Amino acid sequence: MHAKTLSEKIVARASGQASVVPGQIVDCAVDLLYMHEMLAMCIQPFEEIGVGKVWDPAKIAVTLDHWVPAPNAEIARMHDAIRRFCAAQGIQRFNDIGDHGIIHQLIAERGYAHPGELVIGSDSHTNMVGAVGAFAAGIGATDTAAVMATGKLWLKVPETIRVDVSGIPDKRTVSKDIILRVIKTTGDDGAQYKAVEFTGKTVMDLPMHERLVLSNMTTEMGAKVGMIAADGTTKEYLAHTGRPFHPIAADEGATYAKTFSIDVQGMGPQVACPSNPANVKAVEEVSGTKVDVAFLGSCTNARIEDLRIAAELLDGEHVAAKVRFLITPASQRIYKEAVKEGLASKFLDAGATFIASTCGPCFGGHMGTLASKEVCISSTNRNYPGRMGSPEALVYLASPWTVTASALYGEITDPRTV
């Protein structure tokens, strides 16, 4: 039997085959399906399929994250339809507003996904969950309806690209900077239709909250999944679930379509400039660019560790005049923790706005959308035109360190100089 990559192992197991080869189309049994408000778009196609009941309510998780709290009556109606659907279908893991989170964070922190599982989510950043060693891929509404009805999804077995990272970056340079450097190298379609597997000591030394960032932004490389082998760090992260832990790693001698070797030794902070996540420059090249808004939020970079970075820099300081600094945690559990640790009062004392967990500002949906010509530095994942509001707004993507330093000085600022 030929040596398998991480994704080939999981797809083979989920399709009931001893072995699969890239390009092969297989029907896979889904271990976990998760959805946010896209479920509102899935209800009608699900009903049209005509099965009546979802295949297994225990394998489904749902939360609300894109428009929280509901900003208008039409969205409130969508939320209501989702609540009714979950109740009628017996979906126990419906995390309603108050106990919600940005879905990928919720899945990670609650330990709903485990290594070796085939996880499907109704959102492109489902890739993030690959950091725990799951095959986690995003799909659209019709596919989601089909999985709800059948528990199965057809997949083309992807070729795997290996991203091998070595070296120790400079101070205040984190996994967000590493992934931006990777995307600069691959381009925003460099991993199209492919699985990405991160390897190397630099990656395996990262704590889980930083690994999640790497997997999250493989979406911005066009990847189907972005996986990291499950090791002791993963085991510790999932220990609270009490479920048995099965580590997973690629086989020795597995075939990779391509290997990118990225040396980040001494590398400083990176910034993705308007208006493509692959338009990445070293922070020095763009420092001094005036900003109107700084945003720390989204599934990419709004975990408690990211909020602690912001609090450390803001402590006793004040956000620059004429700059709005908006902070939204990736989940309500993180929100609660930030209040408990006293981070929230540091944010408010510094003049930042600290709101409940929502995807809103990241995708220009609500709460903090940008006006024409406004410049924003953001810890999020995308900066295509119009992503955060007006198509004439300019969005720079950076780490929590760089975002917070820029909020303090009102211009893009190298956090190593603060």
Partner 1 sequence: MQEVFQGRVWIFGDDISTDHIIAGKYLGTTDARIFAEHAMENVRSDWAKQVKPGDLIVAGDNFGCGSSREQAPLALKTLGITAIVANSFARIFYRNAINLALPVVECRDLVRHVNEGETLSVDLTKGELRTAAGRTFATAPYPPHIVEILKAGGLVPKLRAELAAKT
Q: Rule CB under 8 A: is residue 95 a binding residue for partner 1?
A: no
Residues in binding contact with partner 1, number by CB under 8 A:
51
- Tell me how far the alpha carbon of residue 412 is from its chain's centroid: 23
Q: How far is the CB of 171 from partner 1 (least distance, A)?
A: 33
Q: Rule CB under 8 A: is residue 55 a binding residue for partner 1?
A: no
Q: 299 to 358, contacts with partner 1 by CB under 8 A?
A: none
Both tokens assigned to 94: 């419906």
Q: How far is the CB of 411 from partner 1 (least distance, A)?
A: 26
Q: Rule CB under 8 A: is residue 150 a binding residue for partner 1?
A: yes
Q: How far is the CB of 25 from partner 1 (least distance, A)?
A: 5
Binding pattern to partner 1, positions 160-199, x when CB under 8 A?
A: ----------------------------xx--xx------
Q: Rule CB under 8 A: is residue 151 a binding residue for partner 1?
A: no
CB 146 within 8 A of CB 48: no
Q: How far is the CB of 357 from partner 1 (least distance, A)?
A: 17
Please report, as a single letter, which amino acid is at residue 47.
E
Q: How far is the CB of 279 from partner 1 (least distance, A)?
A: 10
Which residues, at least 6 apart from 161, have a Cβ–Cβ distance to it below 8 Å?
Answer: 186, 190, 191, 194, 195, 196, 197, 223, 256, 257, 258, 259, 260
SS3 195: strand
Q: How far is the CB of 189 from partner 1 (least distance, A)?
A: 4
Bridge-based pairing of strands 270-272 and 280-282 is: antiparallel
Q: Rule CB under 8 A: is residue 293 a binding residue for partner 1?
A: no
Rg for the chain (alpha carbons), in Å?
21
Bridge-based pairing of strands 195-199 and 293-296 is: unpaired
* Distance (Å, whole) CA 176 – CA 23: 31
Toward partner 1, which CB reaches closer, 209 or 366? 366
- The half-sphere exposure of 357 on its side-chain side, counting CA atoms within 13 A, is 32
CB 223 within 8 A of CB 213: no
Place of tokens 């890739």: 127
Instruction: Tell me whether the omega of the peptide bond preceding residue 158 falls within 30 degrees of 0, making it cis.
Output: no
Q: Which of 2, 3, 19, 49 binds partner 1 (CB under 8 A)?
A: 49
Q: Which stretch binds partner 1 (CB under 8 A): 64-72, 252-260, 321-329, 337-345?
A: 64-72
* Distance (Å, whole) CA 134 – CA 237: 14
Binding pattern to partner 1, positions 107-146, x when CB under 8 A?
A: ---------------xxx-x-----------xxxxxx-xx
Catalog residues that contact partner 1 under the rule CB under 8 A: 25, 38, 40-41, 44-45, 48-51, 66-67, 71-72, 74-75, 78, 122-124, 126, 138-143, 145-146, 149-150, 154, 188-189, 192-193, 222, 224, 276, 363-366, 369, 382, 384-387, 389, 391
